[in-house]
Amino acid sequence: MSIIARLPVELVNQIAAGEVVERPASVVKELVENALDAGAQRIMVTVEDAGSRLIRVQDDGLGIAHDDLPLAFAPHATSKIASLDELESVTSMGFRGEALASIAAIARVQITSRQSGQDHAWALAPEWSSPKPAAHPVGTTVEVRDLFYSTPARRKFLRTERTEFGQIDQLLRRFALAYPPCGFVLLHQGREVFDVPATGESRLSAARIESMLGAAFLDRARKIDASASGMSVQGWVADPAYARATTDQQMFFVNGRIVRDRVIGAAIRRAYADVLHHQRHPAFVLSFRLDPRSVDVNVHPTKAEVRFRDARAVQDFLFREIHRALADSAVRAPSESAMPTEMARSTAGRGWGEQPLPPAQAVQSYLRLLQPATTADSQHFPSMVQEAATVPDAVIPPLGYALAHLHGAYILAQNAAGLVIVDAHAAAERITYERLKGAFARQEMAMQPLLLPVVVTVSEPEAEAVEGLSELFARLGVAVTRVGPVSLRISALASILRGADPEALLRGLLAEALVLDLSGDEQDPGVDSPIHRVLSRMACHGSVRANRPLTRPEMDALLRDMEATERADQCNHGRPTWRQFSLAELDRLFMRGQ
């Protein structure tokens, strides 16, 4: 007796529906993709009760011919592909031919469509024997009512109306960002949520970004537009300081398709690795394009996942371009043409804590403010502020010049825009970290012998670890040797780390070495590598500590180095290093002019 039997068509469609239609937003996605494939220039989505009662998607695309309407509800019937070769190079959003059949298996569906040149439209529902004449403009409308009416158990898995509508709203905003040439309208319970007109251009514009994500995102975002090896990426990535608690503003499109992919996610995490605060998520809108034959979109029924033929090349390209965009700090060093010649010469190549500082006579003509920030300066503070106000904006660098060191932690500086507050330790930590990374990569870690070597008592496993890693430790900037069963001697430190506590530095290095494999990525460490984690900790130990008074020349030197350092807007742990307060903001605080 045979126990293998063909499943009924109704059951097959129910199974397919379980894969394709997870919630109302899934229906919207499938119908909008069909509208885009039809060449729509405007798509209107109307929902009631967050889509559980009604989803209507109307477009002005090519429409469906009278004879093709009955096939629209047939499983695995499609106009998108006809061969394996076309599947391997598919450019349309839909291609599986199962969406409408799946939706019709769990809801009441009706299609009304009209092609150009036809006298009228035709309407069809699955239960009708043939299409019926109808009034409708050129294009197609699909109405989906009573979602999950045939599978009431599925309704129990739906979230609240607010949550389900939020999914639809976010989905349609993603489509609007992925397809600038198309206009999108969303209505809920008869109320217009948004109406975004077509832009008339194929590339994503700042105007559409602002209309979909708001001005706050655009104000904090950096543009990317790059191509290489048949791949291109265009869009915006937000500053690390704009990071969010959720992933709601993470939008990535592959050849116009909204996707989620581990390769892409890994590239973006690597790019933000040492600038993003823990437990926060970066925000970005990126459109990635490559040869359709280089990506497999037939991975999952929802078509939300892809598989790249050369995943490593894709990841490296995306990482490189995003990392490059994030490397540019929001602060820029002043051009030499904007400074007196003497000042341009005196600041060239000067680093944090390095000598000589610019001579007073070279800056006297336009600053007159480089006296040491001692307690005695307090009586002169009003005149210092007054004099700073007279400096022409053209010669003031982005972070301005220091006025005071507040509570041994914050530098107060005046620039052309107003007041700048800098976290001295966080800023110095970033500067030191970037210099350590560069020196390690170039194998040019300049060492400075200690006047008196420091002997540190450690555990035997720690002492043994140093014996095996002493050469690497030297490359990292700590010259240490084992001089006894539990004794280590530090004889030199990297010049970048002068002023650091040698013992604390070594103990921190050992703490990382005992839990990380430091040998695997010595030659080419990535930004998220164990080596860089060690360098980050060393930078923390080797940076200016809180409550150490800084002189005005030291503070100004730190500000100049911030302007010349990549990623200077955040410390190694993702915290901001500085904040700008405009004069308008300060006026509002004190109700000036109100």
In sequence order, what E strands does 442-594 have?
Answer: 447-457, 478-484, 487-494, 578-582
Instruction: Report pLDDT for 157.
Output: 83
Q: Specify the range with the lowest mean pLDDT, choosing from 28-37, 254-263, 367-376.
A: 367-376
Please, which residues bridge with residue 405 across strands?
A: 411
Give the number of residues written for the chain. 594
Higher pLDDT, 218 or 15: 218
State percent of the chain over pLDDT 70: 79
- Region 107-113: mean pLDDT is 95
Got the DSSP string for 120-169?
A: SEEEE-TTSSS-EEE---SEEEEEEESTTTT-HHHHTT---HHHHHHHHH
Q: Where are the domains of the chain?
A: 9-196, 206-327
State percent of the chain over pLDDT 90: 50
Instruction: Report pLDDT for 350.
Output: 37
Instruction: Report pLDDT for 512.
Output: 80
- Region 200-224: mean pLDDT is 88
Helices 552-563, 424-442: inter-axial angle, 10-degree rounding: 50
Instruction: Report pLDDT for 370.
Output: 36
Radius of gyration of the chain, Cα coordinates, nearest whole angstrom: 31
pLDDT band at 531 (very low <50, low <70, confident <90, very high): confident
pLDDT tens profile 462-496: 898 888 888 889 999 999 999 999 999 999 999 99
pLDDT tens profile 251-284: 999 998 888 888 898 899 889 988 887 778 999 9
Instruction: Report pLDDT for 352.
Output: 42
H helices of 328-423, in order, are: 341-347, 360-363, 381-389
Spatial CA neighbour of 475 closest among 522, 520, 521: 522
pTM: 0.74
With contact defined as beta carbons under 8 Å apart, do 48 and 188 qualify? yes
Q: Give the C-alpha distances (Å, rounded to integers) separating 380 from 369, 370, 386, 558.
A: 10, 12, 10, 23
CATH 3.30.70.1450 corresponds to the domain 9-196: no
Asked whether residue 518 carries a pLDDT value surpassing 70, the answer given is: no
With contact defined as beta carbons under 8 Å apart, do 298 and 87 qualify? yes
Q: Specify the range with the lowest mean pLDDT, choosing from 150-159, 342-351, 487-496.
A: 342-351
Higher pLDDT, 153 or 46: 46
Instruction: Report pLDDT for 83.
Output: 53
pLDDT band at 187 (very low <50, low <70, confident <90, very high): very high
Collect all residues with Cβ–Cβ distance below 8 Å to 151 and sequence separation of at least 6: 14, 17, 106
DSSP state of 416: S
pLDDT band at 97 (very low <50, low <70, confident <90, very high): low
With contact defined as beta carbons under 8 Å apart, do 176 and 212 qualify? yes
- The SS3 assignment for 578 reads strand
| H/E element, 531 | helix 530-541
pLDDT band at 55 (very low <50, low <70, confident <90, very high): very high
- The SS3 assignment for 361 reads helix
With contact defined as beta carbons under 8 Å apart, do 490 and 539 qualify? no
Number of other residues whose CB lies within 10 A of the CB of residue 151: 15
pLDDT tens profile 385-415: 555 555 566 578 999 999 999 998 999 999 9
Asked whether residue 317 carries a pLDDT value surpassing 60, the answer given is: yes
Asked whether residue 288 carries a pLDDT value surpassing 50, the answer given is: yes
Asked whether residue 437 carries a pLDDT value surpassing 70, the answer given is: yes
What is the rounded average pLDDT for all residues in the chain?
A: 82
Asked whether residue 174 carries a pLDDT value surpassing 90, the answer given is: yes
- Region 84-96: mean pLDDT is 56
Collect all residues with Cβ–Cβ distance below 8 Å to 39 and sequence separation of at least 6: 61, 62
Q: Specify the range with the lowest mean pLDDT, choosing from 340-344, 430-434, 543-547.
A: 340-344
Instruction: Report pLDDT for 92.
Output: 62
**Counting beta carbons within 10 angstroms of the beta carbon of residue 311, is it exposed (0 to 12), middle (13 to 18) or buried (19 or more)?**
middle
Collect all residues with Cβ–Cβ distance below 8 Å to 427 and sequence separation of at least 6: 558, 562, 568, 571, 577, 578
Instruction: Report pLDDT for 10.
Output: 67
With contact defined as beta carbons under 8 Å apart, do 565 and 572 qualify? no
With contact defined as beta carbons under 8 Å apart, do 247 and 281 qualify? yes
Angle at alpha carbon of residue 24, lines to 21 and 28, rounded to 5° = 85
**DSSP collapsed to 3 states, 71-117:** HHCCCCCCCCCCCHHHHCCCCCCCCCCCHHHHHHCCCEEEEEEECCC
Topology of domain 206-327, CATH = Ribosomal Protein S5; domain 2 (3.30.230)
Asked whether residue 195 carries a pLDDT value surpassing 90, the answer given is: yes
- The SS3 assignment for 569 reads coil
